[in-house]
Structure formats: C-alpha cells, structure tokens
Structure 1
C-alpha cells in the first residue's frame, strides 16, 4: 500500500508552462500538489495529468481572500510545506500607451498576487515552517525597453522577497522565501508575443529557456542558502553591468532591441 503524502505544495498559474513544470517537480518530490490557475479547467486537467493525489482548482491571485482559502484547503490535505507564486501576466509596448485595465491587471497579478500569496502561505505554515518561491524575472535587475511595466513589477517582487526574508528571520519564523529570476522562457506568454513590436527585447537574447530547466533551478534554489538566483547565472552578471550604469547600457539595449526586431521579422 502506498503511503499518501503528508505534505502539500501549492503552485499558482500551474495550468501550463513553468507552473505546470513546478507542479510536476514537487509531485516527484513526494508532495501532494495543489495546482491553481485563473483557468480552473486547465488546472484540473494538469492535476489529472500529474496524478498522485494532485488537485486542480480555479484561483484568482488578485483576490487575497481566495489565496487564504487555497492555503487553508491545502492545509487540510497535509502540512503546507511549499508555496510557489508563479502566476503572472505581461503587456508589451510603450508604457504610456497602456490602458487603465492593463496597468491595474499587471500590478494586481504580478505584485499584489505575490504579496497575498506569501501572506496566506506564511499564516498557514506558521511555526511548523515551510518554503516559498516567488517567480520574478531577470528583468527585475535591468532596464527592459518595451516591457517597462513588467520589469517594474518583477523588480517589486525581488525587493519584496528579500525584505520579507529579513522580516521572517527577525520574527524567528522557520519560513524561507526565495526569488527566482529567469531569463526569457519559451512559454505561451512569450511565444504569443512573437509579432508584437513592443516585445522585441524578448527575442534579442540567446535561446529561450525551457520550462523544465527553470523549474529545476527553482526547486534547487529552495534547498540552497541563496535568497535569489538568476537563471542562467552568467546572464545575471551581464545585465547587472547595464543596471550599474544605465546611461552607458541603454545604447547597448537599443542595439539588442533592433536585433529582436530583426528576429521577429524573420519569424
């Protein structure tokens, strides 16, 4: 007889892409995984695919009460040990042309959703402890013309994560929170922008990362002493040189953006 998992893991935005890869990895580690997504049907189908007691539910991360309900439900299936804030949205183009709805959505999902998820997870984990992973982006570390709003939200996630980890240590709670900052990943969120001129920077670098390798790096980060990690690491060192001296780096980014334009034109 197979012993059911005694720990649970929650992954938001897990209906596809990186979130689904995280869910598979956590299930392989022996957790009972709760997959959440704004598309509840996609989450349910992904849970069936994973099996091993996985549960898929509809969850709008913009609603803090919904995140608390997910945390409580996960706790009913076992001790909540891992929470991955993966859900995110992206809008490309000049920031001043963004609609009010786009601005509200990207802030609510990418920033408030992460904060609400962390709060819900910490409250549920309590003194039993646990691990939280916030999926940020390499754009948190450098200017990204065409993706100003997205980059700003991911920078907020990184800053929030490092400060929150300090608060947890000060409070003596055995909960760790980490931020993963991957380079461009070949998910639907990116490939759907293939013809979007505002998203040229997404196609200016090396080959997009695979969702499985990003998830593997995130799971490794959870077990490390690092608070955040860039994937791949060499790209982190490169983009920080631009961040240190934006007046020098921005002209280089203009060249990269033109490269992205050329690649989009060929696609």
Structure 2
C-alpha cells in the first residue's frame, strides 16, 4: 500500500486530497496544526494517521518524521498544502504578519521536504507543493501571501532539479479561486461576480478538483513530469487582466 503525507489535512484541499488518495488505495499521514479539526476529520477515515504539528517548527518536523520513519519506512507522496492567508495593504503588513505567512507557507515546505527526502528516495516518491495563482499574478493586499507562493513555485523547481537524480519528482499546483469555507466567508457577492467575469470557466473551482490535480501528479501517470507548474484555475492565469465588458 502506498503512503502519502499531506499537510493542512484537516479541511479544504488537504482533506479532499486525503479522501481522493484513500479512494485509490493509499494510506495517508494527515498533518495539521489544528488538533481538534484534524481529529474530527480523521475519525471516520480508515488507513490514516493523524499528527498534530506546526510545519514551520524544525523540532516538531523532526519528531514527525522520526515517527513516520518507524511506522512506514518510506513515502510515495508528500503534499505540502499547509498555508496561511493574511491579506492587507503593504503599509499595514507588519513584520510579524509577514513572518507568520512566510514561516508556514515557505519555511514549512522547505522543512517538510528536507526531512522527507530519505523516505521519498526509499519510496521513489513524488512531491506536490501547493502554491496559488497569487504567486504568478500580483494583486492588491497580497504582499506577503503572493510573495510566499511565488517563492514556493521557485522552491519546487529547485527541488526538481536537485532531487531528480534520486528519482524524486517535484511539481507545484497553483489553485485559482476555490470554493473553500474561507473563500465563502470572506468573498462578497461583488467579489465573486468579478472573479466569475475574469475566469473563462465562469466559476470557482472545488476542493475536489484541486485534489484531482494533486493526485494525478503523485500518480504513475505523471511518472515523467517534474519541475512543472499546473494552474488549476479555470483559465484565470491564461486570460491575464480580465476585461469583463469585452465578454458581454
């Protein structure tokens, strides 16, 4: 049975990916900093192990992989999905807010991948990092978030270049607007309509659709794909700056 470790697995894209992997016969190590939500999500699932930890803390990462090594001995997949979103104007983004975003979104990807490398070599595994369309196209209020996700895209290329000789593939998925609970809570109807106008498919994506892209990149069907960015965004990146008036 193949084993994957998924961070940010208590909800959203991470939980959807976990469920899709299980449907394909994988066992999953679910990692999240929110212990209550993680245990709630893991409780009804089989062939999962839940580990509460902060991916940006080197000591916690080391303890996590010590346990995973003893239990599984290898990994066929690592999904670095854990992330935080903090949106605000540049002048109002304090260094503490900046570091909070960078610690989880970027440092966590570096630390988790570094710690997982030996297990991935043993399992001939693949890495999928989760960035964002905000890492490709600048927007207001995303100085920390967008910069962190752009760095994740470059970090993925570095991983692909260096780890390929060990048989490890590394790719990155950049979701566009997705119908997560967070998006539903913070996106007003006006914002949703503006996104719909700018996205060729004229809708938000679903967590499962992003999960399907992740699972594909982990699969044997993607065995010769590495160092690639896959935008799961309904065509948002392809269109550049949207001019809704031209679509009517």
TM-score (norm 2): 0.85
Deviations 1:67-95 (A, max 9, x none): 23223322333231111110111111202
> How has the CA–CA distance of structure 1 residues 48 and 159 changed in structure 2, closer, same or farther, with 3 Å as cutoff?
same
Map of 1:147 onto structure 2: 142
Q: Does 1:61 align with 2:55?
A: yes
Q: Does 1:44 align with 2:34?
A: no
Q: What SS class does the counterpart of residue 83 from structure 2 fall into?
A: coil
Map of 1:230 onto structure 2: 231
How far apart are 1:233 and its partner, in Å? 5.8
- Mapped partners of 1:73, 1:203: distance in 2: 46
- Mapped partners of 1:203, 1:66: distance in 2: 42
TM-score (norm 1): 0.79
Map of 1:244 onto structure 2: none
Map of 2:199 onto structure 1: none
Q: What SS class does the counterpart of residue 30 from structure 2 fall into?
A: strand
> How has the CA–CA distance of structure 1 residues 178 and 153 changed in structure 2, closer, same or farther, with 3 Å as cutoff?
same
Q: CA RMSD in A?
A: 2.1
Map of 2:14 onto structure 1: 19
Deviations 1:103-158 (A, max 9, x none): 11001010101111111111332354211110001111111122222111100000
Q: What SS class does the counterpart of residue 62 from structure 1 fall into?
A: coil
Q: What SS class does the counterpart of residue 180 from structure 1 fall into?
A: strand
| Structure with the larger helix share | 1
- Mapped partners of 1:49, 1:60: distance in 2: 23
- Mapped partners of 1:201, 1:173: distance in 2: 45
Within 5 Å, give how 1:183-222 maps onto structure 2.
183-194=176-187, 204-206=194-196, 207-222=203-218
> How has the CA–CA distance of structure 1 residues 202 and 38 changed in structure 2, closer, same or farther, with 3 Å as cutoff?
farther
Number of residue pairs the alignment of both structures matches:
231
Unmatched segments (≥5 aa) in structure 2: 197-202
Unmatched segments (≥5 aa) in structure 1: 240-248, 257-267
Within 5 Å, give how 1:86-101 maps onto structure 2.
86-101=81-96
Decide whether the 8 Å contact of 1:127 with 1:173 is kept in 2: no
